[in-house]
Amino acid sequence: MLRVRGSASRAQLAVATELSRATISEITGDLRRAGLIVRSKGAGSSRRAGRIPELLTLNPDFGVIVGVEFSHTRVTVIATDATHRIIGSQTRDHDREEPWPQRLATAIRFIDALVPSHAPLIAIGFGVPGAIAGRADVLAGVARQFIDRYSVPVRSENNARLAGLAEFSWGAGQDVNDLIYVRLSEGVGGLLILDDEPRLGTTGAAGEFGHVCLDPNGPVCRCTNRGCLEAYVGLRTVFSRAGAESVGALRDALDRDEPRARAVVADAGARIGLVLANACSVLDVSSVVLGGPFIQVGDHLLRTVRQSIMRHAHGGGADGLRIRLAELGNLDGALGGVALVLRDHTIPLAIPATKRSEEARTA
């Protein structure tokens, strides 16, 4: 519970685990004496007259968790401790054609700079763009380099999913237990959370909202099918239709009320909303979170998406539905790498360094 939540009071732990307060007190007492959990230095220390309950966290001295996002044009690395406290982050933009060995070298330079020499590295979670199924070679190559250098467990996922996982853990979705997250960028990906768990599907391809078909006779998509959502609302398509070169330029055009920009964004919002409405009709989730660089164009997009969902969702699907923008900005993908590690209970957070390298070899 503390791995996933970061911190919690005994009462919160009792509710979440459905154990009695007495049992929780006993367990947390044992864990504290063993040095595995500690009183949070945050809210717990400012309690007055015992009215604010003491918060517990894992021991921050366990070491450092690293999240890495490789996007098409950027490497981002973030380091946290086991209590979810951010130690630092670094990011570098690069050309689209930058070869993988250089991207990896950048990530390794950042990791070496961010992990303090006295603190052990616990594990690395990283993401790459695109569907995981088609990228097994890249994933294995990157993981091998990290394992060879650091001898720690390494996990990987698609960037959009990692961003969704971060929003669910710390951002716009942290107070709900089911949501649809869609990341609007050059590609359109997403993550589905039901009953507090990410749903990856039978083949691990769930949440590909960008490849929902809107028109079987529509434009050819990157995936070779026709009429996918991404073929209409992928950022490069949007830019070329709107005659804008960047999200900033598109936002400026919207601010100036330019009809062409407004029409293009309204059309994109309507299509995104249609796909989300259909998903909501099927899944009846409580929340939709929109993320990715496209959302930086401002309210016009959110408004048109919302209108479209309300218009198309069936009955209960849109009743009380919460539609929000992502909150974590450009660190979302790298933060998701940390969340991936924290949620993976096969990765021990507190084990001797020698055992840790054995675990890395078997991973």
Least Cβ distance, residue 230 to Zn ion (angstroms): 5
Q: Which of residues 184 and 342 has its CB atom nearest to Zn ion in the complex?
A: 184
Q: Is 237 an interacting residue with respect to Zn ion (CB under 5 A)?
A: no
214 lies in the binding site for Zn ion (CB under 5 A)? no
CA angle 87, 61, 348 (to 5 degrees): 100
- The residues pairing with 124 across neighbouring beta strands, listed in sequence order, are 66, 154
Q: How far apart are CA 48 and CA 52, in angstroms?
A: 7
Q: Residue 202: what are its φ and ψ, rounded to 5°?
A: -60, -45
Q: Which of 115, 180, 221, 270 binds Zn ion (CB under 5 A)?
A: 221
Tokens describing residue 234:
């992928």
Residue 138 interacting with Zn ion (CB under 5 A): no
CB of 74 to Zn ion, least distance (A): 23
46: burial class by Cβ within 10 Å (0-12, 13-18, 19+)?
Answer: exposed
Q: Does 225 bind Zn ion (CB under 5 A)?
A: yes
Helix (H) or strand (E) holding 274: helix 259-283
Using the contact rule CB under 5 A, the part of the chain among 124-132, 218-226, 261-269, 288-296 near Zn ion is 218-226
Residue of 211, 271, 300, 306 that binds Zn ion (CB under 5 A): 211
Based on the shown chain and the rule CB under 5 A, indicate whether residue 13 belongs to the binding site for Zn ion: no
- The sign of the CA dihedral 192, 126, 293, 137 is negative
107: tokens are: 């990530």
Total residues contacting Zn ion (rule CB under 5 A)? 5
**Residue 215 beta carbon to Zn ion: minimum distance, rounded to whole angstroms:** 12
Q: How far is the CB of 231 from Zn ion (least distance, A)?
A: 6
223 lies in the binding site for Zn ion (CB under 5 A): yes
Q: Give the footprint of Zn ion on residues 288-307 (CB under 5 A).
A: none
Region near Zn ion per CB under 5 A, out of 28-36, 64-72, 207-215, 297-305: 207-215
- Residue 151, φ and ψ in degrees, nearest 5: 50, 50
Q: Is residue 1 classed as helix, strand or coil in its secondary structure?
A: coil
Take residue 178 and report the two structure tokens written for it: 């089911």
Interface contacts to Zn ion, rule CB under 5 A: 211, 221, 223, 225, 228
